[in-house]
């Protein structure tokens, strides 16, 4: 019987194009896929195909911590082919929470990571034996901290027991949750700064308005006092000192700067001429009487 050759996809040798998406049929290689141990894989065996490593996650706000974990997974073995599974929005929202980036954005972010050879969309939350066999996965890479979710204390427990788990190390000081917290804190700080500036502006406006009203009141009182010195209660002239009148007029001009006086409207072209008031009824009767007497004299 003729032996079948392995036709598994090979690791990327160029970085001018993004990583491919996993086809629906996954790896189409029909050659037998022997189970490997970690020791065998580290020795570079088998020689006729790459070691297929699977790493999964959400990868929201893709950052250096994600990239370092994938770099470690890619360099676990001499001839490694790294498949990265990215969970969909539906699964992530159900089991973990809302994301900042959509699933399509997260898929594209992984495709452009240099360590990734293949991106599997809508990855399962827990890995079944059927899934591992379908995609011909040799090892699963993840940090070794127990990941409790979907009613399990550790979703990778059965992978560890099967000897297919290879650990990676987390990068301290950076995570998606930390980035989101920083964004929220800085937005709060920005809002506080805007509120403080707004309060300062309102205070300055109120201060200016208060000063303007105070100056107007002072000028008004001074103007009224001088007016009362110049005229009596009955409106008669009380002094022969022309300097007092000059002071009054000067103060009147100074108040115009605070509250401008509206200039009178220009005379209308169609203004009606003024007429003298009509005579009183008595005057009219007297005129009629005199006219009557004159008529009688003429007769």
DSSP state string for 221-263:
HHHHHHHHHHB-TTS-B----HHHHHHHHHHHHHHHTTSPPPP
What does the pLDDT read at residue 168? 96
Domain count, the chain: 1
212: its two tokens: 């303007």
pTM > 0.85: yes or no: no
Confidence of residue 221 (pLDDT cuts 50, 70, 90): confident
253 occurs within a structural domain: no
Question: What is the C-alpha to C-alpha distance for residues 233 and 242, in angstroms, rounded to an integer?
Answer: 19
10: its two tokens: 């090979």
255 occurs within a structural domain: no
5 occurs within a structural domain: no
Confidence of residue 126 (pLDDT cuts 50, 70, 90): very high
Bridge partners of residue 86, in order along the sequence: 57, 121
What is the domain-level CATH number for residue 106?
3.40.50.620
Note down the domain range covering 110.
20-174
> Are the CB atoms for 61 and 180 separated by under 8 Å?
yes
54 occurs within a structural domain: yes
134 occurs within a structural domain: yes
- Mean of pLDDT values over 52-58: 97
30-44, 98-112, 171-185, 280-294: lowest mean pLDDT where? 280-294
Q: Give the residue with greater pLDDT, 182 vs 293.
A: 182
Q: Give the residue with greater pLDDT, 21 vs 274.
A: 21
pLDDT at 242 over 80: no
Question: What is the C-alpha to C-alpha distance for residues 36 and 53, in angstroms, rounded to an integer?
Answer: 12
Question: What is the C-alpha to C-alpha distance for residues 123 and 1, in angstroms, rounded to an integer?
Answer: 37
Q: Which residues contact 254 (CB under 8 A, 6 or more apart)?
A: 219
Confidence of residue 298 (pLDDT cuts 50, 70, 90): very low
| Percent of the chain residues topping a pLDDT of 70 | 72
Alpha-carbon distances of 269 from 26, 126, 166, 273, 274, rounded to whole Å: 94, 93, 100, 11, 14
What does the pLDDT read at residue 3? 63
28 occurs within a structural domain: yes
19-23, 54-58, 100-104, 262-266: lowest mean pLDDT where? 262-266
259 occurs within a structural domain: no
227 occurs within a structural domain: no
Phi/psi at 102 (nearest 5 deg)? -75, 165
């Amino acid at each position: 019987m003729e032996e079948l050759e392995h036709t598994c996809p090979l690791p990327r040798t160029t970085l001018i194009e993004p990583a491919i998406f996993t086809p629906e049929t996954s790896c189409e290689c029909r050659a037998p896929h022997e189970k490997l141990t970690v020791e065998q894989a580290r020795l570079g065996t088998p020689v006729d195909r790459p070691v297929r490593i699977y790493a999964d996650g959400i990868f929201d706000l893709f950052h250096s911590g994600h990239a370092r974990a994938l770099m470690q997974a890619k360099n676990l073995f001499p001839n490694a082919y790294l498949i990265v599974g990215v969970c969909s929005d539906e699964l992530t929202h159900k089991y973990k929470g809302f994301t900042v980036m959509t699933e399509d954005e997260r898929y594209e972010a992984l495709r452009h990571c240099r360590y990734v050879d293949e991106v599997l969309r809508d990855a399962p939350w827990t890995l079944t034996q059927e899934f591992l066999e379908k995609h011909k996965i040799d090892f699963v890479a993840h940090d070794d901290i127990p990941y409790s979710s979907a009613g399990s204390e550790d979703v990778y427990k059965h992978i560890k027991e099967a000897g297919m788990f290879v650990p990676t190390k987390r990068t301290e000081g950076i995570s998606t949750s930390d980035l989101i917290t920083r964004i929220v804190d800085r937005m709060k700080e920005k809002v506080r700064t805007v509120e403080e500036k707004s309060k300062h502006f309102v205070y300055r406006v109120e201060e200016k308005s208060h000063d303007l009203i105070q100056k107007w009141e002072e000028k008004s009182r001074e103007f009224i006092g001088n007016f009362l010195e110049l005229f009596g209660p009955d409106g008669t002239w009380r002094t022969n000192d022309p300097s007092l009148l000059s002071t009054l007029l000067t103060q009147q001009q100074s108040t115009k700067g605070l509250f401008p006086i509206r200039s009178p409207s220009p005379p209308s072209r169609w203004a009606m001429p003024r007429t003298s008031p009509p005579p009183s009824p008595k005057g009219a009767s007297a005129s009629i009487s005199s006219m009557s007497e004159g008529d009688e004299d003429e007769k």
